């Protein structure tokens, strides 16, 4: 008997019999816990998707609930036991729709269902604004973009349009506008009104590149009517006396014959004040649609163009033919030399080797008197307005603005028309100014709602691949190519410095244009415009800082290192703008 009690054989079986139920219970609990966590995660994803799907439907409350229920049932069929208990709460206000979905479901468990603990509950809420959307896309079309960059920008811009369309509420009105920019913007678009521009030479800077410093000083104090008046005979004769075909004739000649007739034509045309529309007429060319920047403070604000206040009007862009001996057949793209010599200058006794006389040749309007001139007295002309190396009065003028429209075919057509344009540089601030104007309810392009409208959300997307730069001709009398502020070295009214805050160097001009850009970004944000910024293929520290500051919030700034990233950035902006999102 003692041996029996001391025997240890069979202890393992006894211990196993005691421990095994506890081990199995522990494993069961672990399996069930993992199953609950996994099932709850799966159900949360299903409910998220279901409430998003119901939000996207322009449907009745019943249709939304039916869609929500069927989505949950179909997606949860393989792990939900029986029918899930669903509830969709719909809160529809004046400018929003909020949906909250609740689901309680029973799942199959290994052990814990024997204790009645097998129900899980999840919920999700979406918020969708039904406000009207106004979106201005301000897009860099400069030469540095190249064909690959422009093609990518077209795809990216369309990706934004598609994302807004796919993610927006069907009840929303979506208005989109496009602003291609180089150093100027082309406003000759649908809805253009000639009353916005100065066609008579009354604005301060209209014709500024073609008059002497003395005339500029006088012009500053003149009335609009005085500004547009014909030149004095003395001023006319000072120009005509340098005509290479004049001989001994004067403007009062009584001679007859073809030469005398041409002399009279030259005198009559040169006497007219050389405002830009007049020079287009005389040179037999056409204004494409670009405009110069307005003088301060109108360059950075939304003052509507008013014919009674000529300096609020926009001056037609007219790139002068520059003073070189040999006319070019294509526009140049040289950082240091003249790039836009598109007419024979037709002057005599004026050296093209000296800066003082180069200024005289460039200002001279003799070269523009082409219409009705005969023989070799008609100046030779080279004009090319297609993209890349343009030459002529419309040098580097991009394709027109697409004003705000609900017609996405028009928006896509404006995007498809974009090209890259070499020369002149990049003026981000001028593109931004026109994007802001598109979003303004006042003229020009008065198609937008008031900034304070409660049922409208306004957005601006600003994209560039570089810095604010006044490119070209740095070693010439002009210090730059012609742009929306003229030449860098052409003095502003009442100043010896240039029109870009006195800048006469490209570095100083970049600093000033960055300040202009930052100022307008601040003013737009103060008016409630949500600003997004996109940098493409650049890491320049100055423009990176500028674009970070311009964006309304940190997440609105995007850096795209390549074409794929550019398209992804625009598509994300489109989804953000559509304002359908899960809130919990």
To 10 degrees, what angle do helices 541-550 and 506-526 make? 20
* Co-location of 45 and 107 in the same domain: yes
Same domain, 206 and 185: no
Average pLDDT, the chain: 90
Alpha helices in 465-540 (DSSP H): 506-526
98 and 32 in a common domain: yes
Apex 126 CA angle, 581 and 448, nearest 5 = 60
Residue that is last in its domain, among 341, 356, 377: 377
What is the tens place of the pLDDT at every residue in 207-220?
Answer: 999 999 999 999 99
Angle in degrees, 0-180, between the axes of helices 146-167 and 563-578, rounded to the nearest 10: 20
Q: Do 110 and 153 fall into the same domain? A: no
Q: Are 70 and 162 in a shared domain?
A: no
At residue 28, does pLDDT exceed 80?
A: no
Do 61 and 84 belong to one domain?
yes
Same domain, 432 and 501: yes
Q: Are residues 255 and 156 in the same domain?
A: no
Alpha-carbon distance of 521 to 534, in angstroms, equals 14
- Is 344 found in the same domain as 212? yes
- Is 360 within a domain? yes
Q: How many domains are there within the chain?
A: 3
308: in domain: no
Range of the structural domain that residue 78 is part of: 16-129
What percent of the chain stands above pLDDT 70? 89
**pLDDT tens per residue, range 115-170:** 554 677 878 787 777 889 999 999 999 999 999 999 999 999 999 999 998 876 67
- 412 and 264, same structural domain? no
Q: Which residues contact 456 (CB under 8 A, 6 or more apart)?
A: 131, 132, 133, 134, 449, 450
Tens-place pLDDT, residues 364-416: 999 999 988 999 999 999 999 987 889 999 999 999 999 999 999 999 999 99
Is residue 241 in some structural domain?
Answer: yes
In contact, 494 and 503? CB cutoff 8 Å: no
Domain assignment of residue 298, yes or no: no
Is 448 contained in some domain?
yes
Q: Do 213 and 186 share a structural domain?
A: no
CATH value at residue 561: 3.40.50.410
- pLDDT, residue 30, reads 58
Spell out the residues 6+ positions from residue 576 whose beta carbon is closer than 8 angstroms to its own. 532, 555, 556
Give the integer Cα–Cα distance in Å for 113 and 126.
33
Higher pLDDT, 80 or 468: 468
Residues 261 and 184 placed together within one structural domain of the fold: no
* pLDDT exceeds 60 at position 20: no
Final residue of a structural domain among 82, 106, 129? 129
Assigned domain for 78 exists: yes
Cβ(308)–Cβ(267) below 8 Å: no
At 102, which CATH number? Answer: 3.10.450
| 1, part of any domain | no
Whole-angstrom distance, CA of residue 254 vs CA of residue 261: 10
Residue 282 lies in a domain: yes
pLDDT at 19: 65
């Amino acid at each position: 008997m003692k041996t029996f009690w001391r025997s240890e054989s069979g202890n393992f079986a006894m211990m196993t019999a005691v421990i095994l139920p506890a081990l199995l219970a522990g494993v069961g609990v672990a399996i069930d816990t993992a199953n609950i966590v996994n099932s709850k995660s799966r159900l949360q994803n299903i409910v998220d998707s279901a409430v998003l799907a119901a939000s996207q439907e322009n449907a009745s409350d019943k249709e939304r609930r039916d869609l929500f229920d069927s989505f949950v049932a179909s997606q949860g069929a393989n792990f939900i036991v029986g029918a899930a208990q669903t509830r969709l709460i719909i809160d529809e206000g004046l400018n929003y729709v909020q949906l909250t979905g609740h689901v309680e479901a029973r799942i199959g468990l290994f052990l814990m269902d024997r204790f009645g603990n097998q129900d899980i509950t999840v919920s999700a809420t979406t918020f969708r604004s039904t406000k009207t959307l106004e979106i201005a896309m301000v897009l860099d079309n400069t030469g540095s973009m190249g064909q690959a960059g422009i093609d990518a920008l077209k795809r990216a811009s369309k990706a934004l349009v598609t994302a807004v369309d796919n993610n927006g509420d069907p009840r929303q009105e979506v208005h989109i506008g496009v602003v291609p920019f180089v150093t100027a913007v082309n406003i000759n678009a649908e809805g253009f009104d000639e009353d916005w521009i100065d066609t008579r030479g009354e604005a301060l800077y209209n014709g500024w590149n073609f008059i002497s410093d003395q005339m500029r000083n006088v012009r500053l104090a003149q009335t609009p009517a005085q500004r547009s008046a014909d030149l004095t005979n003395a001023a006319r004769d000072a120009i005509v006396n340098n005509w290479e075909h004049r001989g001994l004739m004067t403007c009062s000649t009584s001679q007859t014959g073809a030469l005398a007739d041409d002399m009279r034509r030259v005198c009559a045309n040169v006497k007219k004040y050389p405002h830009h529309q007049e020079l287009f007429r005389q040179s037999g060319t056409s204004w494409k649609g670009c405009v110069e920047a307005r003088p301060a403070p109108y360059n950075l604000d939304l003052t509507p163009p008013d014919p009674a206040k000529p300096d609020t009007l926009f001056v037609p862009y007219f790139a002068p033919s520059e003073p070189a001996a040999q006319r070019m057949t294509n526009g140049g793209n040289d950082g240091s030399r003249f790039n836009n010599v598109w007419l024979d200058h037709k002057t005599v006794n004026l050296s093209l080797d000296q800066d003082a006389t180069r200024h005289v040749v460039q200002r001279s309007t003799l070269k523009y008197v082409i219409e009705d001139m005969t023989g070799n007295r008609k100046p030779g002309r080279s004009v090319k307005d297609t993209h890349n190396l343009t030459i002529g009065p419309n040098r580097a003028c991009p394709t027109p603005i697409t004003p705000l429209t609900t017609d996405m075919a028009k928006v896509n057509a404006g995007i498809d028309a974009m090209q890259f344009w070499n020369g002149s540089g990049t003026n981000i601030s001028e593109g931004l100014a026109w994007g802001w104007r598109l979003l303004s309810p006042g003229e020009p392009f008065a198609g937008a709602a008031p900034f304070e409208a409660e049922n409208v959300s306004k957005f601006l997307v600003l994209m560039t691949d570089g810095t604010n730069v006044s490119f070209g001709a740095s070693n010439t009398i002009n210090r730059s190519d012609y742009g929306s502020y003229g030449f860098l070295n052409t003095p502003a009214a009442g100043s010896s410095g240039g029109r870009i805050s006195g800048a006469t160097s490209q570095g100083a001009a970049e600093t000033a244009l960055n300040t202009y850009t930052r100022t307008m970004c601040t003013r737009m944000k103060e008016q409630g415009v949500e600003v997004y910024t996109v940098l493409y293929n650049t890491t320049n520290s100055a423009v990176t800082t500028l674009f970070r500051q311009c964006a309304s919030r940190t997440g609105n700034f995007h850096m795209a290192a390549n074409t794929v990233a550019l398209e992804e950035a625009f598509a994300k902006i489109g989804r953000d703008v559509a304002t359908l999102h899960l809130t919990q």
